[in-house]
């Protein structure tokens, strides 16, 4: 049985650690909790002891525990050390190698991989000091997850929310899978289904918004559902997935690293920054055109605005032509007529390996179902009409076949 040492820092997100403990136990792993002094203000050791069915450790100077088990042993008996929530303060102390409490002492003494799930106020996360500490921790080999973006307990909005417990669990499973070849013995969990372990896949999803002025945008009807489902299905097969998402209000699928963007040019920059990758699946409905955005809000007294149009980069075509082209590039084509013929044209014009074409005049954009045609140079495979989640699962399997 795999063993997790979970270090719980002091932040409002500490309450989510309870759910994480429950999920770790449910997935068949053992978990032992260490709570910092600040963490104890948000979640009690008694709750954690009940959920983990184990003793909870809090104090470095609890001599009885030092007699029972030294902190060195405690830090090494686990297969993985997880810090959740990793507060700005805790990460700063980790980055500087401080050992002034039980949590930081264990983190310094451990010889096991460490995974940190940050949670803090958006300004604290974006602060140069925190970003420097995160970069240092990553350079030291710590896996630091990206925090989620959204409304925060403090009333602000932005990146800094603790990733959902399901996403942290998926990251734990990935970290254990990555380390499985260096751990002694056989991994305890089933590796049979994880066909995409060690593969990095970029997925784009959702619409792009092209600004007209500070309050108006050019948008389209893409909901992002199909792209998010594909990102989740690829992660479920063990891939490291970077999801570059346009403006949508969808939760991040389990185990997926998400980068939010607005415009086509931001999306292209995020895709380029995420390279290299083994595969890219471009599901986003990228706006083909943008306009020169007015610096101030346009007033109607000035009459209908004359918009000055420019062509946006074709992210898919540029990726296919780039020296860092992933081995497999999949494009989407949402069409309102002759989906297959248009899809075949796009396959050749853009230089990708597969086009997933769907007729959006039949299945409205934003709906739950899709009828797709898988177009490759070898031919066309038309799938029955099915839920977007089923399309995602089947496509992920097909991608795994192509990368095998």
Q: Which residues bind ligand CTP (CB under 6 A)?
A: 204, 264, 282, 284, 286, 288, 312, 314-316, 331-334, 346
Q: Which is nearer to ligand CTP, 56 or 285 (CB)?
A: 285
- DSSP lists the bridge partners of residue 83 as 7, 116
Question: Which of 372, 374, 370 has the alpha carbon at shortest distance from 389?
Answer: 370
Residue 352 catalytic? no
Q: Which is nearer to ligand CTP, 142 or 229 (CB)?
A: 229
Running DSSP on this structure, what letter comes out for residue 193?
A: T
Q: Which is nearer to ligand CTP, 23 or 264 (CB)?
A: 264
Q: Which is nearer to ligand CTP, 148 or 268 (CB)?
A: 268
Closest approach of ligand CTP to the CB of residue 384, in Å: 22
Q: Which is nearer to ligand CTP, 173 or 226 (CB)?
A: 226
Running DSSP on this structure, what letter comes out for residue 226?
A: H
The residue annotated as part of the active site, out of 18, 154, 320, 352, is 154
Contact of 175 with 238, CB cutoff 8 Å: no
Closest approach of ligand CTP to the CB of residue 239, in Å: 19
Closest approach of ligand CTP to the CB of residue 365, in Å: 12
Contact of 246 with 206, CB cutoff 8 Å: yes
Closest approach of ligand CTP to the CB of residue 329, in Å: 9
How many beta carbons lie within 10 A of that of residue 213, not counting itself?
15
Contacts of 220 (CB under 8 A, 6+ apart): 207, 208, 285, 287, 365
DSSP secondary structure string for all residues of 22-49: HHHHHTT-EEEEEE-TTGGGTS-HHHHH
Q: Which is nearer to ligand CTP, 87 or 242 (CB)?
A: 242
CA neighbours within 13 Å on the CB side: how many for 1? 11
DSSP secondary structure string for all residues of 243-276: EEE-S---PPPTTEEEEE--SHHHHHHHHHHH--
Question: Which of 323, 221, 312 has the alpha carbon at shortest distance from 269?
Answer: 312
Instruction: Please report where in the chains the tokens 């066309």 appear, as a residue.
Output: 380
Token pair recorded at residue 310: 């420019």
Contacts of 250 (CB under 8 A, 6+ apart): 206, 223, 224, 225, 228
Catalytic residue IDs? 154
């Amino acid at each position: 049985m795999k063993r997790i040492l979970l270090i719980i820092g002091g932040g409002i997100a500490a309450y989510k650690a309870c759910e994480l403990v429950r999920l770790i136990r449910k997935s068949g792993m053992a978990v032992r909790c260490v709570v910092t002094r600040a963490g104890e203000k948000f979640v009690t050791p008694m709750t954690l002891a009940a959920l983990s069915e184990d003793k909870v450790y809090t104090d470095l100077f609890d001599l009885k525990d030092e007699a029972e088990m030294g902190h060195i042993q405690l830090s090494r008996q686990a297969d993985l050390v997880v810090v959740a929530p990793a507060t700005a303060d805790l990460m700063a102390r980790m980055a500087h190698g401080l050992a002034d409490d039980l949590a930081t002492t264990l983190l310094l003494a451990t010889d096991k991989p460490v995974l940190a799930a940050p949670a803090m106020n958006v300004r604290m996360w974006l602060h140069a000091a925190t970003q420097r500490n995160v970069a240092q921790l990553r350079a030291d080999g710590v896996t630091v997850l990206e925090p989620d973006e959204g409304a925060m307990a403090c009333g602000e909005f932005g990146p800094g929310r603790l990733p959902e417990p399901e996403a942290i669990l998926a990251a734990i499973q990935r970290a254990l899978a990555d380390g499985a070849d260096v751990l002694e013995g056989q991994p305890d969990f089933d590796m049979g289904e994880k066909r995409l372990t060690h593969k990095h896949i970029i997925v784009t999803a959702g619409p792009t918004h092209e600004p007209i002025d500070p309050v108006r945008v050019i948008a389209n009807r893409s909901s992002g559902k199909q792209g998010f489902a594909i990102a989740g299905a690829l992660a479920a097969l063990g891939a490291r997935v970077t999801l570059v998402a346009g403006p949508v209000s969808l939760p991040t699928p389990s185990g997926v690293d998400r980068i939010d963007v607005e415009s086509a040019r931001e999306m292209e920059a995020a895709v380029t920054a995420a390279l290299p990758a083994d595969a890219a699946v471009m599901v986003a409905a990228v706006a083909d055109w943008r306009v020169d955005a007015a610096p101030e809000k346009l007033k109607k007294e000035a009459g209908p605005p004359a918009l000055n149009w420019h062509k946006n980069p074709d992210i898919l075509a540029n990726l296919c032509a780039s020296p860092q082209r992933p081995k497999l590039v999949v494009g989407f084509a949402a069409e309102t007529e002759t989906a297959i013929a248009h899809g075949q044209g796009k396959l050749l014009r853009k230089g990708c390996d597969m086009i997933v074409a769907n007729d959006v005049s039949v299945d409205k954009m934003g709906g739950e179902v899709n009828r797709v045609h898988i177009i490759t140079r070898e031919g066309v495979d038309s799938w029955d009409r099915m839920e977007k989640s089923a399309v995602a699962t089947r496509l992920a399997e097909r991608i795994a076949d192509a990368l095998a």
